[in-house]
């Protein structure tokens, strides 16, 4: 059997978001696609078993001594604990976008996006310097690179000078069980005070490029006479305080709720009950909430930007950021909800954890055999 050592020490279990979920779902899909071909050892911070118990049933999940996630400590663990345990593996997979200097080889590297090149102003000086120094060296050391979308592949090829054949697209996959245990809509309406007939949901950290403010202007402007409530569900980012100020300034606090990061049951239940998932993000390496929403039966209205068009396809509205255009789209999904739900579910069925696992298995086979 082929031994794979996977570095997930970059995670903050249950909190990093899409990049963490992306690799977890791939590894679960890998076990479905090739259950007896690979022995997978995952090295992660303390708390990973609690956050992803299902993964612990399918791989050897090794936790570090603490959940402390300072970059300096993570780098030290990668150079010592992980490097020592990964020696002898047939493939070493780094899932956090960079290859540590002392990593054993051969290396598979996952690059989730190259946002630091597009929006450097949203990164701290320390992190920007780190990525600027480490990313070019990482792609050179990697035997093969995995990305979640063709958009990211094109960016890696064009901006980092990587040969196209060295990069494989392994798309996000979702489990067939998604939404099976979502919190009931009545419970969520009561808890969050959602009295409006229509509910718009945006599950995203409040980073500037996520464009939460655009949706506030949408509700305050062309949707002001529609019985609608907007819910922001996600952790606090650099634009969080500015968002709260805007909600107060536009006097829409009774129609806009900021509920913070939700657990899986609440998040799935909230999206499933939504009139629409609204997703005006200016930058996405993939945009997993979009395909999850389709699987859960929520129509999608998304920005026509970066990777979102290849994810949404013709199963949702893809629009430039005009509040009038988005207001028309909201009215359309209200009027034709069933049709958009049907199209979304067909689209979501193309993004399964099994297919993601099959694609990852092929990358592992190629690298283990000595190919690029």
Token digits of residue 276: 């629409």
Token digits of residue 102: 């002392």
In terms of domains, do 152 and 269 share one? no
pLDDT for 36 equals 93
335 by Cβ neighbours in 10 Å (0-12 / 13-18 / 19+) ranks as exposed
Spatial distance between the Cα atoms of 156 and 164, rounded to a whole number of angstroms: 9
In terms of domains, do 219 and 337 share one? yes
- The answer to whether residue 178 sits within a structural domain is no
pLDDT for 176 equals 77
In terms of domains, do 242 and 118 share one? no
Angle between helices 212-220 and 323-335 (to 10 degrees): 70
Dihedral angle, C-alpha 346, 352, 358, 364, nearest 10 °: 130
pLDDT for 66 equals 83
Low-confidence stretches of the chain (pLDDT < 50) are: none
In terms of domains, do 344 and 363 share one? no
| Contact (Cβ atoms closer than 8 angstroms) between residue 270 and residue 201 | yes
In terms of domains, do 358 and 340 share one? no
Spatial distance between the Cα atoms of 345 and 347, rounded to a whole number of angstroms: 5
Q: Which helix (H) or strand (E) holds 368?
A: helix 353-368
In terms of domains, do 243 and 265 share one? yes
pLDDT for 25 equals 92
pTM of the model: 0.93
Domain span at 72: 2-173+352-368
In terms of domains, do 18 and 113 share one? yes
- The answer to whether residue 179 sits within a structural domain is no
| Contact (Cβ atoms closer than 8 angstroms) between residue 66 and residue 59 | no
Token digits of residue 184: 């009931």
pLDDT digits (tens, 9 = 90+) for 188-230: 999 999 999 999 999 999 999 999 999 999 999 999 999 999 9
Dihedral angle, C-alpha 289, 295, 297, 298, nearest 10 °: 20
Spatial distance between the Cα atoms of 280 and 282, rounded to a whole number of angstroms: 6
What DSSP line would sit under 132-180, residue for residue?
HHHHHHHHHH-SEEEESSHHHHHHHHHHH---GGGEEE----B-TTTTT
pLDDT for 371 equals 65
Per the structure, the count of domains in the chain is 2
Question: How large is the C-alpha radius of gyration of the chain?
Answer: 21
- Candidates 239, 242, 248, 218; CA nearest to 230 is 218
- Candidates 86, 81, 80; CA nearest to 63 is 81
pLDDT digits (tens, 9 = 90+) for 106-157: 999 999 999 999 989 988 899 899 999 999 999 999 999 999 999 999 999 9
pLDDT for 16 equals 56
End-to-end CA distance of the chain: 20
In terms of domains, do 193 and 329 share one? yes
pLDDT for 201 equals 98
In terms of domains, do 25 and 125 share one? yes
In terms of domains, do 208 and 344 share one? yes
The CATH code of the domain that includes 305 is 3.40.50.2000
In terms of domains, do 35 and 147 share one? yes
- The answer to whether residue 263 sits within a structural domain is yes
pLDDT for 317 equals 98
In terms of domains, do 310 and 342 share one? yes
């Amino acid at each position: 059997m082929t031994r794979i050592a996977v570095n997930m020490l970059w995670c903050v279990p249950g909190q990093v978001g899409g990049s963490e979920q992306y690799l977890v779902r791939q590894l679960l899909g890998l076990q479905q696609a090739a259950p007896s071909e690979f022995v997978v050892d995952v090295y992660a911070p303390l708390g990973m078993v609690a956050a992803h118990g299902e993964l612990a049933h399918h791989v050897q999940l090794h936790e570090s001594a603490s959940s402390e996630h300072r970059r300096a400590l993570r780098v030290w663990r990668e150079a010592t604990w992980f490097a020592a345990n990964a020696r002898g593996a047939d493939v070493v997979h780094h899932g956090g976008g960079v290859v540590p200097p002392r990593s054993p080889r051969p290396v598979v590297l996952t690059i989730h996006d190259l946002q630091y090149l597009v929006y450097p102003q949203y990164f701290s000086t320390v992190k920007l310097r780190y990525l600027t120094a480490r990313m070019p060296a990482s792609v050179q050391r990697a035997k093969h690179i995995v990305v979640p979308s063709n958009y990211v592949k094109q960016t890696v090829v064009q901006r980092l000078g990587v040969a196209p054949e060295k990069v494989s697209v392994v798309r996000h996959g979702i489990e067939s069980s998604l939404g099976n245990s979502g919190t009931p809509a009545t419970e969520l309406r009561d808890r969050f005070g959602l009295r409006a007939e229509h509910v718009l949901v945006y599950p995203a950290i409040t980073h500037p490029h996520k464009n939460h403010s655009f949706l506030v202007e949408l509700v305050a402007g062309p949707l002001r006479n529609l019985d609608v409530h907007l819910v922001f569900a996600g952790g606090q980012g650099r634009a969080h305080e500015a968002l709260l100020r805007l909600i107060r300034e536009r006097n829409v606090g009774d129609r806009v709720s900021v509920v913070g990061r939700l657990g899986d049951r609440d998040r799935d239940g909230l999206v499933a009950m939504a009139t629409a998932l609204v997703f005006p993000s200016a930058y996405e390496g993939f945009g997993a909430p979009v395909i999850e929403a389709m699987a859960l039966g929520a129509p999608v209205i998304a920005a026509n930007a970066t990777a979102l068009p290849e994810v949404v396809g013709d199963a949702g509205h893809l629009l430039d950021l005009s509040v009038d255009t988005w207001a028309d789209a909201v009215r359309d999904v209200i009027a034709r909800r069933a049709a958009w739900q049907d199209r979304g579910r067909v689209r979501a069925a193309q993004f399964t954890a099994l297919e993601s696992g099959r694609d990852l298995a092929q990358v592992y086979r190629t690298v283990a055999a000595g190919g690029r």
